A and B are shown apart, each in its own frame.
Chain A
Amino acid sequence: MNLAYRDIKHNLLRFVLTNFGLSLLLGIVIMMTGVYGGLIDDALRQARAANADLWVVEAGTNGPFAESSRIPGDTRELVSRVYGVQRAGSVTYQSVQTELNGAPHRLFIIGFEPGRPGGPRQLSAGRDILRDHYEMIVDRSAGLALGQEVPLGTHDHKFSVVGLMQNEVTSSGDPVAYVTLHDAQALQFELAPPASRREQARGGSVETNDQINAVIAKVSPYVPIDETAAALSRWKHLTALTQAQQETLLSKFVIEKARKQQLLIMVLLVIVSAVIIALIIYTMTMDKVRSIATLKFVGAPDRTIIGLIVQQSLSLGITGYVAGLALVFLFRPFFPRRLVFDPESVVAVFAITIVVCLAASTLGIRLALKVDPAEALSAAG
């Protein structure tokens, strides 16, 4: 005879209402793990999308994500000639804000050379960029449709959306858009006509647009990457970072504070959940003091009483967790940022919930074990 189940069945409405409140709380904990996972995944996606072995950037910088990096546009040809480098491609990165239908749109523009490393990984709709100018591939989260035209840059050139991607956003949640390198260079380095005219009028030189932020290199599998990186770094104006170093820069430094803050919020939420579960279990035990006294009086061992409380606590935690998880997945599409759940984090939150429930039930167990069987004798209903 499962006393915990019978008690829950008897007070089903109260259990369901309590469970609903708890599921909201646990749902927030689960959601925070998704936000945390999304933060890291989005940050690493930028670097992983390039599918690089080496990142060649401006000497002395941790570019192009952690710091700005500017190198000459012909660096790619130089890199291509280094022993071990199979393929190389120039890339630029910049954030832009444009206006569409009266609403501001932020995009993270990546300029790449079609046919070379650094382009988009996989399209979910549309086609690759085929023309030299004014075509773009953009992430679906930008809310743009195929064929839609987007004004970008100081000259308000209209870029036509030719392809769509899925889940390509930056660590700050901005959708990624790919354009050709030439277009990206123009967007990043070209002065607006009035500024250009003023520069010429004062006799200043108009800087060349042929600059890039980094060169992405694919290294032959038969040549050690570190060896190629060392060879590249011999040029005084360049630094070569491996993919692992780039990912470390992104996950450990670029999003370090945001990551720590998310982690702290999660820890606080777990503590709050533990306190609330403990109070719920304690209150549920308080309501059963007379029944517990009666059970003890008729000879129920402590393990029966402990079992009753622990089983109810676990029932509350497990159903609350499942309901919370269901709520998060139900509302996942409506979150402004991506929620990324890896199986390990989902299992970890479940394990934490179980541990919290067991720890929280100790308060109820302490109360139950203190109940004197003689309380069953006291007058009252």
Chain B
Amino acid sequence: MTEPGRQAVVRVEHLSKHFGAGSARVDALIDINMEVFPGQVVGLMGPSGSGKTTLLNCMACILEPSGGRLTLDGEAVYDEHWLKADLRRLRLDKIGFIFQYPNLLPFLDATDNVAVVLHLAGFGAAAAHTHAVELLDYLEVGHRKHAMPSQLSGGEAQRVAIARALANRPRIILADEPTAPLDSARARIVMDLLRRIAIEQSAAIIVVTHDEMILDRFDHIFRLRDGRLETATGELSLLPVGAG
């Protein structure tokens, strides 16, 4: 689904991933092709074991594909002899990740959970703190900036986690079931928030979900089954599902 005049932020070409060898070999991903453009929010759906998490891990640079090509914001990942440090830098500079559960560091308050990413990116203490507070305000949890993770509600914690994912203004935001621990009303609020971020930050957002209630929030939905992208007609390609 190339779009003339626009460059994909995430480009996956003939990507494959297998585990084990010989008779124990398991093909987790087979010939995956997809593109996600700036400002888009796309869904990644499929039954358990279909390869959603494996694909997300590959895009998050924590799992090396067995074959194919992955390009993130113009950088061909794993192309040459990529080092662990290069992957770490890519994750820090260009990828924001929203976990299924907030995964906040329990020993840092809400502000520092956001600021820690900025520190790692080289921000000074004052600048990191100011920017973290701005982000929390933007996500409407500024009033909880001094709260420890254990003192936050599920929705508040998830917003802090989103703020952390956005802290370094990444071009790519990957979200693994971000609405799973939330009720439907809060799930919709989170999805609307992601859409706003995608537009305002010109970021590409890929959301792994099982939640049928939020399907209308996606620009496209990629469905995976047995490691392959499938269409309604059985062709192996992108299945666009209307705009949100």
> At the interface with chain A, which of B4-12, B29-37, B110-118, B133-141?
B110-118
Q: A346 an interface residue at 8 Å Cβ cutoff? A: no
Q: B176 an interface residue at 8 Å Cβ cutoff? A: yes
Chain A residues with Cβ below 8 Å from B116 are: 1, 3, 295, 298
Among the listed B62, B93, B100, B112, which residue makes an inter-chain contact with A6, where contact means beta carbons less than 8 Å apart? B112
Contact with A along B116-136 (1 / 0, CB 8 A): 110111000100100000000
Given contacts A1-B112, A290-B103, contact A297 B125 (CB under 8 A): no
Q: Which residue of A lies closest to B85 (CB)?
A: A301
Interface residues of A in 58-114 (CB under 8 A from B): none
On whether the beta carbons of A10 and B91 are closer than 8 Å, the reply is: no
Contact with A along B171-183 (1 / 0, CB 8 A): 0000010000000
On whether the beta carbons of B88 and A299 are closer than 8 Å, the reply is: yes
Task: Give the distance to chain B from A142, nearest Cβ to Cβ, in Å.
Answer: 56
Chain B residues with Cβ below 8 Å from A291 are: 105-107
On whether the beta carbons of A298 and B97 are closer than 8 Å, the reply is: yes
The answer for the CA separation of A248 and B35 in the assembled complex, in Å, is: 84
Contact with B along A1-33 (1 / 0, CB 8 A): 101001101110000000000000000000000
Q: A377 an interface residue at 8 Å Cβ cutoff? A: yes
Given contacts A1-B115, A297-B62, contact A377 B91 (CB under 8 A): no
Q: B57 an interface residue at 8 Å Cβ cutoff? A: yes
Task: Give the distance to chain A from B55, nearest Cβ to Cβ, in Å.
Answer: 12
Given contacts A374-B62, A377-B57, contact A10 B107 (CB under 8 A): yes
The answer for the CA separation of A27 and B65 in the assembled complex, in Å, is: 54
Q: Which residue of A lies closest to B102 (CB)?
A: A381
Chain B residues with Cβ below 8 Å from A374 are: 57, 62-63
Q: List 25 A-B contacts (CB under 8 A).
A: A1-B108, A1-B115, A3-B107, A3-B108, A3-B116, A6-B112, A10-B106, A10-B148, A291-B105, A291-B106, A294-B105, A295-B105, A295-B116, A296-B88, A297-B60, A297-B97, A298-B164, A299-B92, A299-B93, A299-B120, A372-B62, A376-B99, A377-B56, A377-B176, A379-B100
How many contacting A-B pairs (Cβ < 8 A)? Answer: 72
Q: B14 an interface residue at 8 Å Cβ cutoff? A: no
Main secondary structure of the interface of A (DSSP, over half): helix
Q: B78 an interface residue at 8 Å Cβ cutoff? A: no
The answer for the CA separation of A318 and B168 in the assembled complex, in Å, is: 36
Task: Give the distance to chain B from A290, nearest Cβ to Cβ, in Å.
Answer: 7
The answer for the CA separation of A7 and B149 in the assembled complex, in Å, is: 13
Given contacts A1-B125, A6-B108, A299-B92, contact A376 B103 (CB under 8 A): yes
Q: Which residue of A lies closest to B116 (CB)?
A: A1
Contact-residue size bin, chain B (C-beta under 8 Å from the other chain):
20 to 34
Chain A residues with Cβ below 8 Å from B63 are: 374
The answer for the CA separation of A41 and B115 in the assembled complex, in Å, is: 56
On whether the beta carbons of B107 and A294 are closer than 8 Å, the reply is: no
Task: Give the distance to chain A from B169, nearest Cβ to Cβ, in Å.
Answer: 14
Task: Give the distance to chain A from B204, nearest Cβ to Cβ, in Å.
Answer: 18
Chain B residues with Cβ below 8 Å from A11 are: 107
Q: Which residue of A lies closest to B63 (CB)?
A: A374
The answer for the CA separation of A373 and B117 in the assembled complex, in Å, is: 15
Q: A276 an interface residue at 8 Å Cβ cutoff? A: no
The answer for the CA separation of A298 and B103 in the assembled complex, in Å, is: 11
Q: A130 an interface residue at 8 Å Cβ cutoff? A: no
Chain B residues with Cβ below 8 Å from A271 are: none
The answer for the CA separation of A380 and B100 in the assembled complex, in Å, is: 9
On whether the beta carbons of B107 and A6 are closer than 8 Å, the reply is: yes
Q: B89 an interface residue at 8 Å Cβ cutoff? A: yes
Task: Give the distance to chain A from B155, nearest Cβ to Cβ, in Å.
Answer: 16
Interface residues of B in 49-84 (CB under 8 A from A): 53, 56-57, 60, 62-63
Q: Which residue of A lies closest to B148 (CB)?
A: A10
